[in-house]
């Protein structure tokens, strides 16, 4: 078990996984190129194999390979978090230990939700405690977006888990500011609450959250990093102005279109987006034009012909 000491403040990027269009394999060269571009801005770190990274479509070897690549590419002061949640406690522990061996600094563990009705607070406490005890690195709990196949944690459960020395924080992707701030008050001193919605990054930090793991930062990494920096420096007007500019990008692309929309946006921005893994489908042409307009409205894409 790790000592649990890690600073998760700031803006983290839940990075996408590029696939080779011919073979369907993970394109590690494209992945490394994306990371290099994103880390030109002072982001706090990256999340590998999260929801935006199509974690449910990746096998164990691919997950480890991506973590190794990220640990090699990102700056020394940036944190590499790996998504390691699975349905059984045993498999979650194995994925967690593999991620740590591959170079992850921390892991993000989603709940086992298939047998949802059996997942009482006591069962979930045992599950997360077992993972935390077996993990060589600090553990974050992942409150998955409720629109996905998941369950919702009670504030009491998170308060209980926050007492564990190796459970250091939570990523709350419900997208509701009041619920995220409630977790700040319900958890132990030093427990770090991060939001998963790039639309509420600044107000969440004002409410006591330490930062966010936000997919809008894949399209606006400079802006996301600057929101966190401006907040830390007390420049709330600057942070609020940037937040207002990128919130629609989160709402319309990340929230409204999911992984296919985010990947299409990356292609438009000169990054490696590409198609998701089947059965997900790439964004259709009419949606790509809508994405272009959204990015232009947020001053993230230069107008055509400039």
Q: Which residues pair with 140 in a beta bridge?
A: 108, 169
> Which amino acids are annotated catalytic?
171
Q: Furthest-apart CA pair in the chain: how many Å?
A: 59
Terminal Cα-to-Cα distance of the chain (whole angstroms): 54
- Provide the token pair at 59: 């096998």
List, in sequence order, every residue forming a beta bridge with 81; answer none if it has no partner. 47, 106
Extract the tokens encoding 203. Answer: 């107000």
Does residue 279 have a cis peptide bond before it, meaning omega lies within 30 degrees of 0? yes
Contacts of residue 184, defined as CB under 8 A and 6 or more positions apart, other chains included, come to 193, 207, 208, 209
Hey, which bits of the chain come out as E strands? Answer: 10-14, 45-48, 79-83, 106-109, 139-143, 167-172, 192-195, 211-213
What's the length of the chain? 306
Cβ contact 298:222 at 8 Å: no
Q: How far is CA 147 from CA 239, 258, 261, in A?
A: 28, 11, 16
Compute the distance between CA of residue 82 and CA of residue 70 in angstroms, rounded to an integer: 10
In the structure encoding, which two tokens stand for residue 137, read together?
Answer: 């690195």
């Amino acid at each position: 078990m790790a000592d649990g000491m890690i600073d998760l403040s700031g803006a983290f990027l839940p990075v996408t996984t590029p696939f080779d269009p011919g073979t369907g394999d993970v394109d590690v060269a494209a992945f490394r190129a994306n990371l290099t571009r994103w880390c030109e801005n002072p982001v706090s770190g990256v999340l590998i194999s999260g929801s935006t990274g199509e974690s449910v479509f990746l096998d164990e070897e691919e997950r480890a390979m991506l973590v190794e690549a990220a640990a090699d590419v990102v700056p020394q002061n940036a944190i590499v978090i790996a998504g390691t949640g699975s349905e059984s406690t045993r498999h979650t522990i194995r994925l967690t230990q593999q991620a740590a061996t591959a170079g992850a600094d921390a892991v993000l563990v989603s709940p086992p939700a298939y047998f949802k009705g059996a997942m009482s607070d006591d069962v979930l406490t045992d599950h997360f405690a077992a993972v935390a005890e077996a993990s060589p690195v600090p553990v974050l709990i992942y409150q998955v977006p409720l629109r996905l196949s998941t369950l919702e944690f009670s504030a009491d459960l998170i308060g209980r888990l926050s007492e564990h020395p190796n459970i250091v924080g939570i990523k709350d992707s419900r997208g509701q500011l009041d619920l995220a701030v409630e977790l700040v008050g319900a958890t132990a001193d030093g427990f770090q609450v991060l939001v998963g919605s790039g639309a509420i990054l600044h107000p969440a930090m004002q409410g006591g959250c330490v930062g966010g793991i936000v997919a809008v930062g894949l399209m606006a990494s400079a802006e996301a990093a600057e929101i966190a920096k401006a907040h830390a420096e007390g420049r709330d007007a600057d942070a609020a102005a940037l937040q207002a500019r990128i919130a629609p990008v989160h709402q319309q692309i990340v929230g409204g279109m999911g992984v296919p929309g985010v990947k299409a946006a990356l292609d438009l921005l000169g990054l490696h987006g590409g198609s998701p893994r089947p059965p997900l489908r790439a964004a259709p042409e009419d949606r790509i034009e809508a994405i272009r307009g959204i990015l232009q409205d947020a001053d993230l894409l230069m107008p055509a012909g400039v």
